Amino acid sequence: MNKKNLNSIGVLIVIIAIFISACGNQAAPAPADKVTVQLSWFHGVEYAGFYTAVEKGYYKAENIEVVLNAGGPEINPMDEVQNDKAQFGITSGDSIIIAKASQQNFVSVATIFRENPLAITSLTKDNIQKPEDLIGKTVGVYSLDLTNFFDMPFLAFLSRTGLERGSMKYALIEDFQGANEIKAGNMDAMSGMFATDQQVMAKDAGDELNFIYYKDYGYDVYINTIFVKEELTQSSPELITRFLRATMKGYEYAIENPEEVAGFAVKYDSTLDLAYQQNVMQAQIPFINTGDAPIGSMDDDVWNTTQDILLEFGLIKKAIDLSTVHTNEFLAP
């Protein structure tokens, strides 16, 4: 073998050695961040964006492993996050403000519904279309003396429309399925119902509904914000950004593919009816994607309105700095 060939072999050996060394020194992939989300209620298509981000690998692409814990009447998402059983939770904007007033530091970082779907519901045939149509009627409420926390939207509605509390009668809502209470003659309208699943239940029963939306009369509160402890915004801002980027991508996909993503919800609870979940997904799209701002984003005016209502009804004693309880800074552009 001549000297030229020996030199060529030597160069080749050096190249191979460098390649092997580079492969050996290549950093191992960073372990995935493990995140638990405490949902505000039982599994359902309301959380379609989270399910989709799991199923479509959006969280995986952000190097996040996500566990989605169902909620229920006995589970308070704020307690779960406070006690580090979950890093992200879902609750209403008014609850976040009340918590802050009680020295608990939570921050809302996004919302699921940009518009509030709560409404006063009645059968179309009864022609109750505007606030004054309720005068002399019987309205279903959560407590006959209107002291239940869930009666607050109705009270705020009365305050903002100028309707007298005594201008109508009240009945206790006991059946929340569609318009059963109205059809049974127990009431003419039901307060504080969701124009999403409520609408679907009624249509499935062959009924058509009218809605008087609270949001159209000064009660505009985010009912399901995604929140974290304040310390997480300081210690892991990148994690929040990655998590929300994947989640909002999930909701974007869900909006475009409502029938498919309803099936993802059924994977989390096999007792759910697929057709019903598909119809609810369709019904809630206008409240998620309002077309005037990015999905998930929140408006200062809504938070200001929320605080005004809480002050009006004595649920907080003094105003707080709202910039400490909500932010859009972690939503990717």
C-beta neighbour count of 73 within 10 angstroms: 7
Three-state DSSP class for residue 102? coil
Residue whose token pair is 């699943």: 197
Domains of the chain: 33-115+222-324 (3.40.190.10), 118-217 (3.40.190.10)
pLDDT at res. 3? 44
Each residue of 37-91: pLDDT tens digit?
999 999 999 999 999 999 999 999 999 999 999 999 999 999 999 999 999 999 9
Instruction: Specify whether the CB–CB gap between 327 and 109 falls below 8 A.
Output: yes
Tell me the DSSP string of 192-209. Answer: EEETTHHHHHHHHTT--E
Q: What is the DSSP letter of 129?
A: -
pTM for this prediction: 0.89
What are the Cα distances from residue 73, in Å, to 3, 42, 104, 141, 230? Answer: 84, 9, 21, 19, 25
pLDDT surpassing 50 at residue 7: no
pLDDT at res. 18? 39
* Mean pLDDT estimate for the chain: 92
Q: What is the DSSP letter of 119?
A: E
Per-residue HEC secondary structure of 286-310 comes to HHHCCCCCCCCCCCHHHHHHHHHHH
pLDDT at res. 333? 73
Give CA–CA dist 170/184, Å, rounded: 15
pLDDT at res. 5? 47
Each residue of 92-132: pLDDT tens digit?
999 999 999 999 999 999 999 999 999 999 999 999 999 99
Question: 29 falls in which pLDDT band (50, 70, 90)?
Answer: confident
Instruction: Specify whether the CB–CB gap between 320 and 101 falls below 8 A.
Output: yes
- Of 196-205, 223-232, 324-333, the range with the highest mean pLDDT is 223-232
- What is the Cα 93 distance to its own chain's centre? 10
**11-20, 54-63, 278-287, 309-318: least confident range:** 11-20
Name residue 66's beta-bridge partners: 35
- Which residues, 6 or more positions from 261, have their beta carbon under 8 angstroms from its beta carbon? 45, 48, 51, 52, 55, 253, 254, 281
Give CA–CA dist 216/197, Å, rounded: 20
